[in-house]
Structure 1
Amino acid sequence: MTTSVREDARRVAILDAAAELIAERGYHSVRVQDIAKALGTSTGSVHYYFPGKGDVLAAALRHAVDRTFDRQSSELRAIDDAHQRLLKLIEMQLPRLGPVRDEWSIWMQFWAEATIRPELRPLHNTYYARWRETVVRIVKRGQRQGTFRSTVDSEIVAHRLTAMTDGLAIQVLTGAPGVTVSVMRELLIQFVHDELVSAPGGNSPLR
């Protein structure tokens, strides 16, 4: 293994550890010492790659979100049918206990940081545009396949579906009464059916 490969692997390990700690403890509760301890190394090793705490934590946010997008894109590409692809995307967004819930925790903290740190907003907005564009592409694919209604505006549907997903996930994660992962799934699937699959003015599917 070359030095550059080892250093890349070490950098990724630091970002993975930092992201896990952010999900578990919160952005501002993570110290460089905590990251070093999780890796069984020294703070100097962390600072070798990242000058300060803010550098490593901001990089960890980006790393975690990029990893989430890459995983989702890989799984979605394997599904040809647009309706099933959109249902799969919904399923992957449900904040169950485990890695996806951690990803949501990190994403919510990215929102919070972008609210008070203007320098993070361009990156945040790029990620959000990518999230919406994923939905837009699936809707247009469904329209080409004859699975979704041709009369709907894909951009409007994407804005509404992403907003619903985010709003429901926040309620699940904060323990809002009556809003569970199952409820979130049912509401989002019903939205897809009503907006994209059912015939206008009725509940019967297009096919």
Structure 2
Amino acid sequence: MATTNQPGGQRTSGGRMKAKSSRRARSVRTELQLLRAACWLFSERGFHGTGIRDIAETAGVAVSGMYYYAASKDEMLEAVTRRVMDLLMSSSEETLRDIDDPAERLVVLMAVHVAFHARNPRAAKVADHEFQALTGDAREGIQQLRDAYEGVWAETLRAGVRDGVFQDRGSVARLALLQMATGIAHWYRPDGELSIPQLCERFGDMALSLMGASRAGRLLQVHDLTMPDPDLLLERVELSIEPRNEPSHT
């Protein structure tokens, strides 16, 4: 049971709990500031063009304080990339749940990939390109996450070929589909011609076309299938470390 404040400045157990909770909240906020700063700088200058001091100054954190969260900029890059891959995998798995049809699974995978790259362009660019600067166990760990994510795509394409829904385009099809959508991070603008849900539909149609998707001799399009709910999809791909604006300390 929590005690009340006592004369002479004795602290209560409730007060200690509140103090610890406050410190944890500050710690989480500081970590987010650092990851957003790292994400911004890595996407602007590249990993090799960014120093540990640059990240600390951009986040408004003392360099000495930053070492509480990461011992090096390599650890910051690994953390950014891991969060990207974890969210891509979890949002794909959630949205694919209870969907067995290969054509619908492909459309869902493409929608998640497109929405993620359109909504989180800086983090996506860091994970897609800068991760190659990692070495050793960090590089191997991230590569395993990438392989697992691509494995979901590969199995979906194989299932479609087995079911006679897709043409067999070989492994190059998976690479082409992923690379096609990955480029969105470089050119998509929210105030452009298409909204993210519209973009997902366009890319879904292109994915089906690339795989020659058909049933009973008729080519399939997205409007023949069930698309994920746009609001739910955007909620699932929201990445907390994506810097929505330029950090104020740059």
Give the drift of 1:87.
0.6
* Matched position secondary structure for 1:29: coil
Larger radius of gyration: 2
Work out which of the residue numbers 44, 51, 55 in structure 2 matches 1:35.
55
Root mean square deviation of aligned Cα: 4.1
DSSP-derived class of the 2:95 partner: helix
| Deviations 1:55-89 (CA, angstroms, capped at 9, x unpaired) | 22233222332233333333333x63533332121
Paired residue for 1:188?
A: 207
The total of aligned residue pairs comes to 188
Query: Which residue of 1 is the match for residue 87 of structure 2?
Result: 67
Return the match for 1:93 from 96, 113, 117.
113
Question: Shift in Å at residue 44 of structure 1?
Answer: 1.6
Return the offset for 1:105: 0.5
The answer to whether structure 1 residue 80 and structure 2 residue 75 are counterparts is no
What percentage of residue pairs aligned between the two structures are identical?
Answer: 16
Q: Which amino acid aligns with 2:210?
A: F
How far the C-alpha of 1:10 sits from its partner, in A, is 4.8
Separation (CA, whole Å) in 2 of partners of 1:6 and 1:29: 31
- Of 141, 150, 157, the residue aligned with 1:123 is 141
Q: Deviations over 1:112-146 (max 9, x none)?
A: 325xx455542243123212222245457xx5xxx
Secondary structure of the corresponding residue to residue 39 of structure 2: helix
CA distance in 2, matches of 1:151, 1:97: 30
More helix by share: 1
Alignment TM-score, normalising by the size of structure 2: 0.55
Gaps of 5+ in 2: 1-17, 188-198, 225-250
TM-score by length of 1: 0.64
Distance 1:50 1:41, change over 3 A: same
